[in-house]
């Protein structure tokens, strides 16, 4: 028998990019807030500088099985514990472009968001000011309208300068990469020292992870954080129209009901869908919020490509941020692909390198082993350049999150993922593979190559849309079927663009939270 | 505790990034995997045969990794909660418990060795070991329905971790470590 806790105004599930921000705004708006996190509590001093120890920040269990042809790389993308995935994110924060919101109406492809860029812009501007973003808006010739960045751009070392040569030689533009990393002290937080440990979590708070900004704000405003809370279901009233709270279990198997006037799911793309599917009852036989039968559908991940090369110069590739130094979106035109693919691309240029791990020097040439490896590592440590290409994935209804026949420790079905990279995304990736190597050669690389396709930034599953018959949420992130149920995070995106998802997830979370505070009487009644 | 750069650097000067808590005779000792190997700390998960074969394969992939304790590192982490594990296998969507993956990988690799040479992994000379590893390394290679390439990729990465992923490894490559903070002494991995 689950123990019923004291009711609160809002229960927020998840402490990542969206959950932390929504908790802060709701608590500052005078609501009593409990934030449930399935992982452990974590503090800044737990963020050790090591690619090995950084793996504790990533998902490991319960297992999310890949049941389709391709992987979405869930564990690498997802997070575990306070801060969620955002605790290890790289803070590359360009804005989605205007046409990312209107792909169907402009091009007859893909889907539309239920609102335009103009409607989200104020929230981008607000979040940008609150966290202290660095960049050069004028040099980002592709940037949609927005306030100038509050801080000057990030460091550009030899690494960035050498690779920029290649772009210039191919008549392409670069600009300082817009980042949620402090280049000067800002609102009591120190500036970055360009040590490249972003993936391991930034313990000084220069990078805008949830522990640095929104979780402390939420707590200061009275929100209570509850770690080790495995949320299993959204609880519904008898009418099936109102959420009444959530059920969660401790690791020891003790069950609780947290009653709330409003429920906000920000447990990342896969878990949000899993919780709603597992919440099925007689009123919602296919899962809560699933009258459209699109819950779990339109799962997306950016097809990504790593391009690597060896140069004669000392690249100083250990300096900088993991997400890079420069950006190019010259290839963003959705109808500009030479192979006829629909969709956008971008390059993140000059990623700070470490010897080991997924994005490390050793992994760039997995075919090298034995006696040849040491020479390669020595060469790479001094002379390697690196950039990542990010491609748009088309939202396909066949790509989905489903419940598995396997169950978790509390008897609830696990999630499995059926995903195949879209044909458009695959073609864009192929274009990027050739272009990336050409750029490196133009920059003077003595050797250049690219890696295999990877998946970055998991989106979809609980998409927004104007039509309740074809989407889960409206433009406020509010379930079409349940007025007091909201979802945050990149799972709400109807299109993927080719742009890193965190800034847009934050802006969307701000939009949702402001709506909740401003319309509290109506949605909590 | 307020984190400042100075306090981080001070703490970073202490300890080793790969110091793990090993159980020795009922006591918990903070040791690097290399120290655990040198002290012959009993393995918790791997059999003696598995340990020998893992060590030989890892050394063939990344020279120096056996002496630096890759087997003890793996054995320690195969004992860990999957969410806390430091194994790169989790990034490749390997389903826990990870011991199953490593045990099956060793079985398949040893079968490949037997088929090619009639010998077990630990009996191979350097040239035959190189040949075996080369046969595991092509991307996508599957043997007996097991992704042996993935096993190669993970074990090679584990070995790179212990050789190049520590402050000593960075120093070996003349790469500034520039740490903010290292695991404090007594921190249980």
* Angle, CA A246 vertex, CA A244 and CA A250 arms, to 5°: 150
Cis, bond preceding B97 (omega within 30 deg of 0): yes
Report the pLDDT value the prediction gives residue B189, as an integer from 0 to 100: 35
Q: Does B128 lie at the interface with A, CB-CB under 8 angstroms?
A: no
A129 touches B at CB < 8 Å: no
In A87-229, the DSSP E strands lie at: 175-176, 224-226
* Minimal Cβ distance to B91: which of A44, A66, A75: A75
Q: Report the alpha-carbon distance of residue A317 to residue A354 in Å, rounded.
A: 8
Of A71, A204, A366, the CB nearest to B93: A71
Would you call A382 an interface residue with chain B, using a CB distance cutoff of 8 Å? yes
pLDDT score, position B183: 59
Tokens representing A369 are 């082993």
B169 at interface of A, judged by CB pairs closer than 8 A: yes
The answer to whether residue B153 neighbours chain A at the CB level (below 8 Å) is yes
Closest CB to A377: pick one of B88, B156, B173. B173
A191 interfaces chain B, CB cutoff of 8 Å: no
Contact between chains at A370 and B60 (C-beta distance less than 8 A)? yes
Q: What is the dihedral of CA A306, A310, A314, A319, to 10 degrees?
A: 10
Mean residue pLDDT across chain A: 97
Do A440 and A448 form a contact (C-beta atoms < 8 A)? yes
Domain that holds residue A262: 3-524
pLDDT score of A220: 98
Is A233 in contact with A244 (CB distance < 8 Å)? no
pLDDT score at B17: 58
**Residue A261 dihedral angles phi and psi, to the nearest 5°:** -75, -25
State what percent of residues in chain A have pLDDT above 90.
99
Query: Model-level pTM?
Result: 0.95
Tell me, rounded to whole angstroms, the distance of Cα A214 from its chain centroid.
16
pLDDT confidence bin for A1, thresholds 50/70/90: confident
Q: Which of A40, A41, A43, A48 to mutate to test the interface with B (most CBs of B within 10 A)?
A: A48
Contact A101, A117 (CB under 8 A): yes
| B96:A61 CB<8 A | yes
Closest CA–CA distance from residue A496 to any residue of chain B (Å):
22
Q: pLDDT tens across A42-75, in order?
A: 999 999 999 999 999 999 889 999 999 999 999 9
| ipTM for the predicted complex | 0.95
CB B31 within 8 A of CB B19: yes
- For A187-231, write each residue's pLDDT tens digit: 999 999 999 999 999 999 999 999 999 999 999 999 999 999 999
- Residue A399 burial by Cβ neighbours in a 10 Å radius (0-12, 13-18, 19+): buried
- Beta strands A413-418 and A65-66, pairing class: parallel
Predicted local confidence at residue B6, as pLDDT: 40
* Chain B nearest C-alpha distance from A61 (Å): 6
Note whether A55 contacts B179, CB cutoff 8 Å.
no
Each residue of A231-273: pLDDT tens digit?
999 999 999 999 999 999 999 999 999 999 999 999 999 999 9
* Mean pLDDT, chain B cut into blocks of 10 residues (189 residues total): 42 53 76 90 95 98 97 93 92 95 98 98 98 97 98 98 94 92 50
Cα-based distances in Å from B135 to B66, B112, B142, B167: 21, 9, 10, 32
Answer whether B93 sits within 8 Å of A75, measured CB to CB: yes
What are residue A259's DSSP bridge partners? A245
Cβ-contact A359, A351 below 8 angstroms? yes
> Rounded distance, CA A246 to CA A258, Å?
5
Nearest to B173 among A66, A193, A378 (CB): A378
The answer to whether residues A232 and A247 touch, using CB atoms and an 8 Å cutoff, is yes
Q: Which residues face A191 on adjacent strands?
A: none
Q: How many domains does chain A have?
A: 1
Note the pLDDT tens digit of each residue in A485-502.
999 999 999 999 999 999
User: Residues A93-113: pLDDT tens digits?
Assistant: 999 999 999 999 999 999 999
Give the mean model confidence (pLDDT) for residues A263-290: 97
Secondary structure class of A466 (helix, strand, coil): coil
Domain spans of chain B, in order of start: 44-166
Distance CA B140, CA B137 (A): 9
Give A108-139 pLDDT, tens digit per residue. Answer: 999 999 999 999 999 999 999 999 999 999 99
Cβ atoms of A228 and A238 within 8 Å: the answer is no
User: What CATH number is associated with residue A380?
Assistant: 3.50.50.60
pLDDT grade for A513, boundaries at 50, 70 and 90: very high
Closest CA to A494 of A474, A469, A516: A474
């Amino acid at each position: 028998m689950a123990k019923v806790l004291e009711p609160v105004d809002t229960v927020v599930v998840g402490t990542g990019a969206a959950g932390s921000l929504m908790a802060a705004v709701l608590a500052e708006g005078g609501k009593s807030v409990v934030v449930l996190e399935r992982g452990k509590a974590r503090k800044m001093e737990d963020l050790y500088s090591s690619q090995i120890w950084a793996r504790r920040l990533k998902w490991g269990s319960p297992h999310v099985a890949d049941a389709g042809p391709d992987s979405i790389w869930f564990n690498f993308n997802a997070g575990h514990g306070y801060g969620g995935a955002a605790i290890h994110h790289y803070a590359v924060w360009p804005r989605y472009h205007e046409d990312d919101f209107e792909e169907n109406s402009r091009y007859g492809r893909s889907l539309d968001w239920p609102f335009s860029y103009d409607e989200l812009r104020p929230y981008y501007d607000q979040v940008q000011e609150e966290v202290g973003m660095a960049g050069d808006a004028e040099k980002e010739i592709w940037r949609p309208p927005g306030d100038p960045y509050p801080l000057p751009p990030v460091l550009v070392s030899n690494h960035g300068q050498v690779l920029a040569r290649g772009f210039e030689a191919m008549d392409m533009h670069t600009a300082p990469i817009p980042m949620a990393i402090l280049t000067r002290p800002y609102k009591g937080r120190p500036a970055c020292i360009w040590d490249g440990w972003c993936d391991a979590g930034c313990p000084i708070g220069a990078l805008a992870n949830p522990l640095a900004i929104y979780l402390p704000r939420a707590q200061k405003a009275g929100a209570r954080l509850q770690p080790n809370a495995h949320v299993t279901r959204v609880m519904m009233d008898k009418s099936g129209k109102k959420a009444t709270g959530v059920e969660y279990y401790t690791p020891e198997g003790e069950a609780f009901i947290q009653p709330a006037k409003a429920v906000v799911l920000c447990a990342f793309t896969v878990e949000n869908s899993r919780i709603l599917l597992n919440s099925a009852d007689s009123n919602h036989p296919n899962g809560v919020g699933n009258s459209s039968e699109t819950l779990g559908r339109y799962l997306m991940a950016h097809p990504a490509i790593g391009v690597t090369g060896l140069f004669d110069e000392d690249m100083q590739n250990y300096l900088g941020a993991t997400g890079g130094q420069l950006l190019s979106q010259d290839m963003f035109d959705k109808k500009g692909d030479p192979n006829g693919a629909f969709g956008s691309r971008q390059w993140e240029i000059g990623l700070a390198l470490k010897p080991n791990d997924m994005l490390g020097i050793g992994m760039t040439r997995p075919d090298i082993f034995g006696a040849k490896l040491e020479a390669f590592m020595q060469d790479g440590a001094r002379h390697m350049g690196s950039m990542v290409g990010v491609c748009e994935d088309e939202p396909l209804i066949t790509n989905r999150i489903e419940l598995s026949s396997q169950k978790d420790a509390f008897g609830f079905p696990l999630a499995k993922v059926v995903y195949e990279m879209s044909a458009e995304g695959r073609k864009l990736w192929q274009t990027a593979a050739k272009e990336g190597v050409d750029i490196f050669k133009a920059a003077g690389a003595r050797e250049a190559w690219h890696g295999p396709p990877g998946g970055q930034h998991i989106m979809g599953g609980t998409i927004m849309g104007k039509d309740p018959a074809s989407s889960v949420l409206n433009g406020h992130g509010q379930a079409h079927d349940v007025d007091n149920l909201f979802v945050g995070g990149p799972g709400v995106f109807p299109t993927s663009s080719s742009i890193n998802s965190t800034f847009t997830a934050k802006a969307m979370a701000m939009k949702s939270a402001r709506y909740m505070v401003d319309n509290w009487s109506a949605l909590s009644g | 505790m307020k984190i400042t750069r100075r306090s981080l650097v001070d703490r970073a000067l202490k300890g080793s990034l790969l110091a793990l808590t090993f159980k020795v005779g009922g006591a918990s000792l903070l040791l690097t995997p290399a120290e655990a190997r040198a002290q012959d700390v009993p393995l918790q998960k791997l059999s003696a045969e598995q340990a020998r074969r893992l060590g030989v394969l890892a050394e063939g992939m990344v020279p120096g990794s056996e002496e630096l304790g890759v087997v003890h590192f793996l054995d320690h982490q195969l004992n860990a909660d999957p969410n806390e594990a430091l194994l790169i296998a989790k990034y490749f969507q390997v389903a826990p418990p990870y011991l199953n993956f490593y045990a099956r990988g060793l079985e398949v690799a040893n079968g490949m060795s037997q088929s090619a040479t009639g010998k077990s992994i630990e009996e191979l000379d350097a040239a035959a070991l190189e040949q075996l590893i080369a046969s595991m390394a092509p991307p996508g290679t599957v043997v007996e329905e097991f992704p042996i390439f993935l096993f190669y990729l993970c074990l090679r990465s584990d070995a790179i971790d212990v050789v190049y992923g520590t402050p000593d490894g960075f120093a070996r490559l003349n790469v500034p470590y520039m740490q903010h903070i290292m695991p404090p002494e007594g921190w249980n991995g």
